[in-house]
Amino acid sequence: MSHLIPIVEFAKRLVQHHHISATIFIPTTGTPPKSLVSVLESLPENIHHQFLQPVNVDGLPKDVRVEFVVSFIMQASLSSLRDALSCLKSKTKLVALVFDMFAHASMEVAKEFNLFNFLCCPLSAMALSFTFTLPKLDEETVGEYKDLPYPVQVPGSVSFHGPELMAPVQVRTDEVYKEYLLLSKRLSLVDGIMVNSFEELEQDTILALPGGTPIYPIGPLIRSEPSNGSDWHECLKWLDDQPSGSVLFVSFGSGGALSLEQIHELAHGLEMSSHRFLWILRSPNKVSFASVFTDSSQNDPLGFLPEGFLARTVNRGLVLPSWGPQIEILSHEATGGFLTHCGWNSTLESIVHGVPMIAWPLYAEQHMNAKMMTESLCLALRLEMDENGIFRKEEIEKVVKELMEGDEGKKISKRLKELKTAAMRALSIGGSSMESLSKLVLQLN
């Protein structure tokens, strides 16, 4: 979902502003989840979608990493993609194939059909800049990146110690690393790269990107249609009753999960802070990336919370199991802060709505995002772990109070208001992102 949404929003902009029709192909392993279907059903009439033939993943090991599973599905879908493109070519004039980072193997299919091939990068310009540097880093490095005695400088951005680098590159002997390295080597072969960022946010990094491949900053690409769900409307009614800017929104995205111990520490920290909160809470998990299809339909989906927590915080807190309307919550007047896993979609949504953040990274490139947000862009406060890798309740209490009422929180809030205006300006007619999109369309003609 986090990769599909930027693709969908990009297609909407093409259709709305440049009258180019689009068809979105979606690889599957069976019946698509309702959340995905709801996004696709909201598309304008001139944006079509087609599910490719389901891929059987039953033979994969149960403990295989999710990035490998997605890459496997993409590779196994190439034949179905060829058939779909052949059928589409018989009905309309095909110009370009836009592919996600996981689907870079489809470049070969684009060549077969004599199409432009464009990468739609759902990550930040910083993450893209790092990806460009990976081949050289791979040649120069012996052993694992986590053991590097020096930080890795990302052109145009901050530097990162080995353990802070994105999850796909942490184990160099892993198939996931080999796949990401292959993607990095292919960046110079594409006809252009759309990046989900905008000049006013990451100007230095965008300028530092290599000049050989056309780069189009066309962000922020965030979900624009409203969410559905009767339970969610209830949470928005609850927000209506809260004072302006008083609520801390807590969410770790569609796949983020915490251990039971960490959930208890977070609950106690929120309670100790005495601030209002709206918490989207998934069931505890030993790994930080849980399946987005985890079933939360048990009779007591919040029974794992500390005893008495819900009763003690009933007048200033609301906890929703598993899901919530994030865009609507962030855009609500009562929301004054966002404790986030630093996924790039969530970060951009917070920027667009001017909500200051607390960074709590979990997986993927989120640790890199968190460092950039706290050290370079000044959009978030950072929590400090103890020696056991746990954020303790006292630390959570301290940082929540600083964000919601302290001087640092006020500085971040001011910075976010400026960026909110800049994001709106970038997406307006003549703005930097709209001009970038126009240049991309010129390349197609």
Residue of 49, 100, 191, 341 with catalytic role: 100
pTM reported for the whole predicted model: 0.95
Q: What are phi and psi of 179, to 5 degrees?
A: -70, -40
Asked whether this chain's domains 4-219+428-444 and 230-423 adopt the same fold, the reply is yes
List all residues 6 or more positions away from 105 whose beta carbon is below 8 Å from its beta carbon. Answer: 74, 75, 78
Q: Which two tokens stand for residue 438?
A: 């126009």
The predicted structure's pLDDT at residue 228? 62
Instruction: Give the residue among 416, 398, 421, 373 at the shortest CA–CA distance from 157.
Output: 373
The predicted structure's pLDDT at residue 111? 96
The predicted structure's pLDDT at residue 165? 97
Residue of 3, 48, 264, 268 with catalytic role: 3
Instruction: Give the residue among 295, 287, 302 at the shortest CA–CA distance from 256.
Output: 287
Does the domain at residues 230-423 carry the CATH identifier 1.25.40.340?
no
The predicted structure's pLDDT at residue 227? 64
Is residue 100 flagged as an active site residue?
Answer: yes
Q: What is the largest CA-CA distance in the chain?
A: 64
The predicted structure's pLDDT at residue 63? 86
Instruction: Give the residue among 131, 25, 23, 27 at the shortest CA–CA distance from 75.
Output: 27
The predicted structure's pLDDT at residue 232? 66
The predicted structure's pLDDT at residue 230? 52
How is domain 4-219+428-444 classified at the architecture level of CATH?
3-Layer(aba) Sandwich (3.40)
Is residue 295 flagged as an active site residue?
Answer: no
Relative orientation angle of helices 4-18 and 34-41, to the nearest 10 degrees? 0
Spell out the domain ranges in the chain.
Answer: 4-219+428-444, 230-423
CA angle 172, 369, 167 (to 5 degrees): 20
Number of Cβ within 10 Å of residue 390's Cβ equals 14
Task: Give the whole-angstrom CA distance, residue 129 versus residue 135.
Answer: 12
The predicted structure's pLDDT at residue 226? 67
Reduced to 3 DSSP states, what percent helix, strand and coil does the chain have, rounded to the nearest 5?
Answer: 45, 15, 40
The predicted structure's pLDDT at residue 322? 81
Where does 116-208 have alpha helices with state H?
125-140, 175-186, 199-208
Per-residue pLDDT of the chain (445 residues; tens, 9 = 90+): 889 999 999 999 999 999 899 999 999 999 998 888 888 988 998 999 999 999 999 999 988 888 999 999 999 999 999 999 999 999 999 999 999 999 999 999 999 999 999 999 999 999 999 999 999 999 999 999 999 999 999 999 999 999 999 999 999 999 999 999 999 999 999 999 999 999 999 999 999 999 999 999 999 999 877 666 555 678 999 999 999 999 999 999 988 899 999 999 999 999 999 999 999 999 998 777 654 434 444 557 899 999 999 999 999 999 999 888 999 999 999 999 999 999 999 999 999 999 999 999 999 999 999 999 999 999 999 999 999 999 999 999 999 999 999 999 999 999 999 999 999 999 999 999 999 999 999 999 8
